[in-house]
Amino acid sequence: MLEAIKEEVWKQNLELPKHGLVKFTWGNVSAMDRESGYFVIKPSGVSYEDLKPSDMVVVDLDNNIIEGELNPSSDTPTHAILYKQFPELGGIVHTHSTWATAWAESGVDVMPMGTTHADTFYGSVPCTRYLTQEEIDSGYEHETGNVIAETFRERELGILDVPAILLHGHGPFTWGKDAKSAVYNAVVLEEICKMNLLARQINSYATELPQRVLDKHYLRKHGKDAYYGQK
């Protein structure tokens, strides 16, 4: 079942090492099929070289394995809660990419410093709080998803306007309307995390991108008046 999605999820998982975002098995991509209510995700701890499309695991939104021989990614409950709470999402990516993970460890938001940021993220990429002991005990990966949702709700951010988050002390999650755009957003996030630190090292008084330039760049690529790319 869901053979085309398995093929796509497999392919997008392979994009992660190709873009230098993962070492070993430190990353996973999933894609949601809204019709069936199931999503497809990478198996846990299987190396990218050995991965086949048929290894992908089909899971429902309550983390039941619907099809597959292998255990799904240990982060599956985080993916599930995000798909459940945000119907706009079609694909999710988690990595430990170097620069985004360093930002997650630093515990601060990634403020927009330039148009490379503004072309993809409409404002700061937020960093969550740490999970409490109670949350860890009651289901770490599930509660991780809840903390992501809480952060977007409290900050009143549109889930596709800022398609990324940093988990404090852990690393980035990105998402999109499908798996491919979630991977794209993971690459952009890694790059802006690098650029932002460098910009502040060059000039520690460097300012955030003015709102007017942020608006211009985000909106020339997104929304009804976008004019970047081909029709």
Q: Which of 16, 40, 43, 58 binds a second copy (CB under 8 A)?
A: 43
Q: Is 52 in the site for a second copy (CB under 8 A)?
A: no
Q: How far is the CB of 87 from a second copy (least distance, A)?
A: 27
Instruction: Provide the b/e sequence for 89-127 (b: ≥16 CB within 10 Å).
Output: bbbbbbbbbebbbebbeeeeebebbbbbbbbbbbbbbbb
Q: Which of 37, 54, 153, 206 binds a second copy (CB under 8 A)?
A: 206
Q: Which of 35, 62, 154, 202 binds a second copy (CB under 8 A)?
A: 202
Q: Which of 82, 113, 147, 159 binds a second copy (CB under 8 A)?
A: 113
Please name the residue that has the structure tokens 């109670």.
Answer: 134
Q: How far is the CB of 58 from a second copy (least distance, A)?
A: 17
Taking every pair of Cα atoms in the chain, the longest distance, rounded to a whole number of angstroms, is 54
Please name the residue that has the structure tokens 């976008």.
Answer: 226
Question: Which span (1-9, 20-28, 56-64, 83-91) binds a second copy, by CB under 8 A?
Answer: 20-28
Concerning whether 205 is annotated as a catalytic residue, the answer is no
To 5 degrees, how large is the angle CA 152–CA 71–CA 44? 65
Q: Which residues are catalytic?
A: 119, 228
